[in-house]
């Protein structure tokens, strides 16, 4: 059984705001998850993953990035990115106040991309990354790759990617992985788009357990 507690810590700038999933059978580790450019921490995919990881003993924080704290809708502007990465750094610091083990970081699309950019500059920040639908390039613009920082990413990472994702094909993700000097793994989700099967009321019920299994294997 897990419990969910809200967190709103204004001692950080930007503040840390979201929800923490906890289990009685803690393993001492923490996972921080955040959302894409058009969503928030209540995205069904993040909720389902938080429950799955919490059941296995992780303390899981799903948090709103600073741009979403500041406005309820709309995508981030280019000027938001550095502050959003600061928000992720603060979320890591907040979780370290409460857990004794490792901290992992990740998120969906924009949230995952900002996580990789943060860790490319701070390789010792977290013990691993969970990257859900990494936005390799804008749809229909494969020449605008978002890979410049990947050669500096020394944090082991699990990429979870749908075979019908317009932000990058599985083949393109495989090429991007070759740029990363750390260990990386890829979990392909057949037939899924950028939402990984979590769109509206639709939920890929079996996916969180598969992601947990793949993430655990990557850490071994």
Q: What is the mean pLDDT of residues 79-83?
A: 94
The closest alpha carbon to 45, from 139, 130, 158, 147, belongs to 130
Tokens of 21: 């999933």
Contact by Cβ (8 Å): 26, 45: no
Q: Given this model, what pLDDT does residue 78 score? A: 85
Q: Is the pLDDT of residue 1 over 80?
A: no
What CATH class does 2-219 carry? alpha beta
Distance CA 106, CA 185 (A): 14
The pLDDT-based confidence of 201 (bands split at 50, 70, 90) is confident
% of the chain residues with pLDDT over 70: 100
Q: Is the pLDDT of residue 44 over 80?
A: yes
Tokens of 29: 């580790």
CA 37 to chain centre: 12
The closest alpha carbon to 62, from 79, 76, 77, 44, belongs to 44
Q: Is the pLDDT of residue 45 over 80?
A: yes
The closest alpha carbon to 169, from 179, 181, 158, 159, belongs to 159
Q: Given this model, what pLDDT does residue 202 score? A: 86
The pLDDT-based confidence of 142 (bands split at 50, 70, 90) is very high
Q: What is the mean pLDDT of residues 82-106?
A: 97
Name 81's Cβ contacts closer than 8 Å, sequence gap at least 6: 114, 117
Other C-beta atoms closer than 10 Å to the C-beta of 180 total 22
Q: Is the pLDDT of residue 19 over 90?
A: yes
Distance CA 16, CA 65 (A): 8
Q: Is the pLDDT of residue 24 over 80?
A: yes
Q: Is the pLDDT of residue 166 over 80?
A: yes
H helices present in the chain, as ranges: 44-55, 66-70, 81-96, 110-121, 170-177, 207-219
Average pLDDT, whole number, for the chain? Answer: 96
Q: What is the mean pLDDT of residues 193-199?
A: 96
The closest alpha carbon to 67, from 47, 30, 41, belongs to 41
Q: Is the pLDDT of residue 208 over 90?
A: yes
Question: Is the model more confident about 134 or about 203?
Answer: 134
């Amino acid at each position: 059984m897990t419990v969910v507690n809200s967190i709103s810590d204004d001692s950080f700038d930007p503040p840390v705001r979201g929800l923490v999933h906890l289990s009685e059978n803690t393993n001492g580790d923490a996972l921080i998850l955040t959302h894409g450019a058009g969503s928030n921490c209540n995205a069904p995919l993040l909720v389902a993953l938080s429950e799955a990881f919490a059941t296995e003993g992780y303390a899981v924080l799903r948090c709103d990035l600073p741009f979403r704290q500041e406005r309820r809708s709309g995508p981030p502007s280019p000027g938001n990115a550095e502050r959003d990465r600061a928000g992720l750094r603060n979320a890591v610091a907040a979780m370290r106040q409460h857990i004794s083990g490792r901290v992992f970081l990740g998120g969906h699309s924009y949230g995952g991309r900002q996580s990789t950019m943060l860790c490319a500059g701070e390789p010792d920040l977290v013990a691993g990354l969970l990257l859900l639908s990494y936005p390799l390039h804008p749809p229909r613009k494969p020449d605008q790759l978002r890979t410049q920082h990947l050669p500096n990413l020394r944090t082991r990472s699990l990429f979870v990617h749908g075979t019908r994702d317009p932000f990058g094909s599985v083949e393109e993700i495989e090429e991007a992985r070759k740029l990363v000097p750390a260990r990386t793994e890829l979990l392909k989700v057949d037939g899924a788009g950028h939402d990984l099967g979590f769109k509206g009321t639709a939920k890929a019920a079996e996916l969180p357990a598969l992601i947990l299994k793949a993430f655990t294997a990557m850490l071994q």
